[in-house]
Amino acid sequence: MKPFLRWLGIVALALLALQLFFILRIAAMAVIDPQSTTFERSEVWRVLSQKSSSSWHQQWVGYPQISDQLKRAVIASEDDGFRSHGGVDWDALKKAWQKNAVAQARAARQTPARTSSSRPSNSPRAPKIVGGSTITQQLAKNLLLSGERTLLRKGQELVLTLTLETFLSKQRILELYLNSVEWGDGVFGAEAAARHYFQKSAARLNAYEAARLAVMLPRPKYFEKLPNSGYLTERAAVIENRLNSAELP
């Protein structure tokens, strides 16, 4: 029994030390710009391991050097309750779970009976999974966590989200997010995205350009390859019309 309790104590201390490490890192981000995120480092490793020809683009810019149009567009597209919630939008999360459950049930009903003669091309598409994550949750995941989808990682994401909201202002959270989020293969942050897609600084983005970048966020690599996507154009127009209703921190 004693060895088990000793092992349990070691695990508890390790978890406590990890949380303390995360808290200290997040507290430091109130005044120190992070050099990279966990997600960015994983992407660097992917590029190196695959010997990809992708280049790397990222340039940190301060909050005032990012167009208000882009800030509003990202909030309108990704998290319209950003200014008011405490890091987690529980209503949006509940709706996402419900949508996922309905999509899974529909896919199960539509799945044809498999036979040995069934062709792979006849297999139904997997249902689209809706996330329901806020900007703060996305930042927590990108900054410090891996991309795996487990209950343990989601629990850690929740703890980090609440820690970010405790130690940092909404403005700082949005600044960190806009400087670190992925906008294409090897393209990270608003400044790199603005120069990559529109050959201008993030400060000079107009309303429609900002809306297009915001709509790309859930699938940046996909839309990077499909710049003439009808969905991208139509959705950007919708987001552009919602800019004035998006509240900035």
- DSSP string over 79-132: -TTTTTSSS--HHHHHHHHHHHHHHHHHHHHHPPPP-TT--GGGSPPPPPPP--
Q: What is the DSSP string of 26-84?
A: HHHTTTS--S--HHHHHHHHHHHHTT-----B-----GGGS-HHHHHHHHHHH-TTTTT
Nearest in space to 190 (alpha carbons), one of 178, 198, 175: 178
Single pTM value for the model: 0.82
Give the tens place of pLDDT for each residue, 190-225.
999 999 999 999 999 999 999 999 999 999 999 999
The pLDDT score that the predictor gives to residue 127 is 42
Instruction: Kindly state the average pLDDT of the residues 11-17.
Output: 86
CA distance 50 to 64: 37
Would you call 184 helix, strand, or coil by DSSP? strand
Question: Above 90 in pLDDT, residue 62?
Answer: yes
b/e code 24-55 from CB counts within 10 Å (16+ = b): ebbeebeeeebeebebbeebeeebeeeeeeee
> Can you tell me which residue has the tokens 């036979």?
115
What is the third-level CATH fold of 68-107+126-249? Penicillin binding protein transpeptidase fold (1.10.3810)
pLDDT in tens, 147-193: 666 777 788 888 999 999 999 999 999 999 999 999 999 999 999 99
Q: What is the mean pLDDT of residues 29-50?
A: 84
pLDDT tens digit string along 18-31? Answer: 888 888 989 999 99
The region of weakest confidence among 15-19, 26-30, 135-139 is 15-19
Q: Which two tokens stand for residue 244?
A: 């004035």
pLDDT given for residue 118 in this prediction: 46
Q: Are the C-beta atoms of residues 103 and 124 closer than 8 Å to each other?
A: no
User: 34-48, 62-76, 93-107, 146-160: which has the highest mean pLDDT?
Assistant: 62-76
